[in-house]
């Protein structure tokens, strides 16, 4: 009863007509949420959002782009992340004295778009938003399958030598990963699990240390920092362009904070 009943019956996304008929206190009660987070939990979630599995491919991306374009693009995407994060933070609260709202908290990104830009912009942004989420899901599925295949090939080379074929497909790995995602998605209040956030933050540091460790070990093995200004040469212009665009996508994939 009371608060629990209001939380269950409150709509996730409201219409403008509902805003016109409600007061500030009523709108806030419909979005009543117990906020018990701290600065440390906020920092942990930011680390989890900024540092993802995509950082593991940054070394390859820099090798393809070279020592000038590669670091420059990393800084550019970092700047884009900062700007998008500030925009999301500024749009979290909505104030409109004409509708009787002061510091209304938006429950979703789509709701913020509708309040600030209107319903037409909501549908347009919704298309791009879901397209981005769809692409991100595809990227993680392909990355998971590729990683599993890399582990299989590594074990095969250790057992049979580097002369062995060690050829494996990706389809079965994608299906297994997708099935696991479907099962995990059925867990209620998945986003409220504290241990999951802690594990994600720890994994973010592990990603970074793995990338740094592999790069540092390679420098010790070669005795020098290798690379070039123009990146790794390719057999043709088409192959070089493909590598450059793939590296660009990998760098963008390494900055998933706005998602």
> Residue-wise pLDDT tens for the chain (259 aa)?
444 444 444 444 444 444 444 444 444 444 556 777 788 877 877 777 777 777 878 888 898 999 999 999 999 988 988 888 888 888 888 877 666 666 788 878 888 888 888 889 999 999 988 888 888 888 888 888 888 888 888 899 888 887 888 888 888 899 999 999 899 888 887 777 777 777 877 887 887 888 888 888 888 988 888 888 888 888 889 999 999 998 998 888 888 766 5
Compute the distance between CA of residue 81 and CA of residue 86 in angstroms, rounded to an integer: 9
Q: Is residue 4 part of a domain?
A: no
Q: Where would I find the beta strands (DSSP E) of 1-142? A: 93-96, 101-105
Asked if residue 16 belongs to a domain, the reply is no
The whole-number pLDDT of residue 37 equals: 76
User: Cα 41 to chain center, whole Å?
Assistant: 18
Q: Which residues contact residue 44 at a Cβ distance below 8 angstroms, ignoring those fewer than 6 apart?
A: 197, 198, 201
Collapsing DSSP to helix, strand or coil, 53 comes out as helix
Paired with 93 in beta bridges are 105
Q: What is the pLDDT of residue 8?
A: 44
Q: Domain range spanning residue 133?
A: 54-89+119-253
How many other β-carbons are positioned within 10 Å of the β-carbon of residue 119? 12
Q: Supply the DSSP string of 32-49, one letter for each residue.
A: -------HHHHHHHHHHH
Q: Does residue 18 fall inside a structural domain? A: no
Q: How far apart are CA 213 and CA 203, in angstroms?
A: 15
For 27, residues 6+ apart whose C-beta sits below 8 A from its C-beta are: 19, 101, 104
Q: Identify whether 103 is part of a domain.
A: no
Round to the nearest angstrom and report the end-to-end CA distance of the chain: 35
The verdict on residue 65 lying in a domain is yes
Give the chain's domain count.
1
Residue 96 pairs in a beta bridge with 101
Decide: 230 and 66 in contact? Cβ < 8 Å: yes
The two structure tokens encoding residue 70: 């590669």
User: What are the structure tokens assigned to 230, written together?
Assistant: 């123009």
The closest of 218, 220, 242 to 231, measured between CA atoms, is: 242
pTM across the whole model: 0.68
Those residues with Cβ within 8 angstroms of residue 200's Cβ, 6 or more apart along the chain or in another chain: 48
**Structure tokens, 184:** 């995990």
Looking at residue 71, its pLDDT comes to 92
Residues shown for the chain: 259
For the record, the structure tokens of 159 come out as 């057992």
Round to whole Å and give the CA distance between 249 and 73. 11
Q: Three-state SS for 186?
A: coil
In a domain, 139, yes or no: yes
Q: How far apart are CA 56 and CA 226, in angstroms?
A: 18
Is 6 a domain residue?
no
DSSP assignments along 111-124, one per residue: HHHHHHH-HHHHHH
In a domain, 25, yes or no: no
The predicted structure's pLDDT at residue 259 = 56
> Residue 124: its pLDDT value, please?
92
């Amino acid at each position: 009863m009371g608060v629990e009943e209001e939380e269950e019956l409150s709509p996730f996304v409201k219409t403008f007509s509902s805003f016109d008929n409600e007061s500030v206190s009523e709108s806030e009660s419909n979005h009543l949420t117990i906020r018990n987070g701290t600065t440390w939990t906020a920092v942990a979630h930011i680390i989890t959002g900024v540092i993802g599995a995509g950082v593991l491919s940054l070394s390859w991306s820099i090798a393809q782009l070279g020592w000038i374009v590669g670091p420059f693009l990393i800084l550019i995407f970092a700047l884009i992340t900062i700007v998008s994060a500030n925009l999301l933070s500024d749009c979290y609260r909505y104030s409109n004295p004409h509708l009787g709202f002061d510091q209304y908290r938006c429950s979703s990104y789509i709701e913020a778009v509708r309040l600030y830009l209107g319903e037409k912009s909501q549908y347009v942004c919704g298309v791009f938003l879901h397209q981005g989420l769809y692409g991100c899901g595809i990227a993680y599925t392909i990355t998971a399958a590729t990683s599993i295949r890399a582990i299989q090939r590594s074990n095969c080379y250790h057992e049979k030598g580097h002369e062995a074929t060690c050829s494996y497909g990706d389809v079965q790995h994608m299906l297994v990963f997708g099935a696991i995602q479907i099962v995990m998605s059925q867990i209620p209040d998945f986003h409220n699990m504290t241990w999951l956030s802690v594990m994600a933050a720890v994994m973010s540091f592990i990603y970074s240390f793995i990338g740094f460790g592999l790069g540092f070990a390679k420098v010790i093995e070669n005795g020098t920092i290798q690379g070039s200004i123009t990146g790794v040469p390719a057999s043709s212009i088409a192959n070089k362009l493909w590598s450059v665009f793939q590296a660009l996508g990998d760098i963008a994939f390494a900055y998933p904070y706005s998602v």
